[in-house]
Structure 1
C-alpha cells in the first residue's frame, strides 16, 4: 500500500474540524475502534462539514451522492477518547468534488479519507453550479 501524501497529514491545513465522541460499541474484538465504525465517524464529520459550508443551499435544485470513498487506516483508535475529524475540499471538477478528512485522536493520526461526491440532477450527474464554485475556495485544503 502506498503511503498517503505527507502534505495531507497536517491538521493545520484543514479549514474545519469537529470532535466526535467514541462509544464502547465502536470497538472490535481487539478493543480498537472498528474500521466500519470509523468510516461512520468520517461520514459524520463530512456531514457536519457540509452543514457548516451550507452545502445544500449551494447545490440549487440538485442532490449529491458519494461516488467513491477511500480510507487509509493509519493508526489504532481507542475508547473512550474522542476523535477529531479535520475536513477540507480537495479538487473540484465539472460535476464532482472531493472531500478530504483527516482523523486524529489525542494528536495521533488515525485515518485519512477521501470522498468523491457527484452533483446529481434529474438526468444524472450535472455541473456544479457557479454558486458552489464561488463559495468553495475558502474551504479548500490550505497551502
Structure 2
C-alpha cells in the first residue's frame, strides 16, 4: 500500500476514537510495541467502532467478513502509553465497506490502516451493506 494521503492522517476527520492500553508483553526486543500488537489494537478499535455506531445491532442475521487489511507503520510506539485509534467509514459500496483508522501515541503518528469488509448471510452469500453509517463517515 502506498503511503496514505496526508489528509487521511488528520484525527479531526474521524468521528470515533478510543484508547487502547498496551501490555508489557506487547513489546519486541527493541522495546517497541510489536507489529502483531498494533494489528490487534486495530481489530479491537474496529469492533469498538461497530458497537458505538450500532452496526452490530443492524446486522443480526449477517456476519462481517474481512476481505483485506492494509497497515502502514508510520512511527514507533512504546510501552507504557495508550494508543489512540481514530476510525471512520471511508466508502460504502453495494456489498462492501471500507474503514480507515489512524493510530497515535500522544502526538506521535504511529500508523494508518484501511480495512475492506463484506456482509454475508449464514450461508456465506454476500449481501448488501446496511446503510446505518450516517454520522460515521470520514469528514471532509
Q: TM range, normalised to the smaller chain?
A: over 0.9
Counterpart check, 1:31 vs 2:31: yes
Q: Give 1:62 shift.
A: 1.1
TM-score by length of 1: 0.93
Alpha-carbon separation, structure 2, partners of 1:45 and 1:65: 16
TM-score by length of 2: 0.95
1:42 is aligned to 42
Which stretches in structure 1 are left out of the alignment for 5+ residues? Answer: none
Say which is worse superposed, 114-123 or 62-71, in terms of deviation. 114-123
Counterpart check, 1:54 vs 2:54: yes
Query: Cα RMSD (Å) of the superposition?
Result: 1.2
Task: Map 1:47-86; keep pairs closer than 5 Å.
Answer: 47-86=47-86
Task: Map 1:1-143; keep pairs closer than 5 Å.
Answer: 2-121=2-121, 122-128=123-129, 132-133=130-131, 135-143=132-140
Q: Give 1:47 shift.
A: 0.5
Which stretches in structure 2 are left out of the alignment for 5+ residues? Answer: none
Alpha-carbon separation, structure 2, partners of 1:104 and 1:67: 25
CA deviations 1:44-98 (Å, max 9, x no partner) are 0111000001111222421111110000000000110111010000110111101
Moved over 6 A (4+): none
Instruction: Tell me the secondary structure at the aligned position of residue 36 of structure 1.
Output: helix
User: How many residue pairs align between the two structures?
Assistant: 139
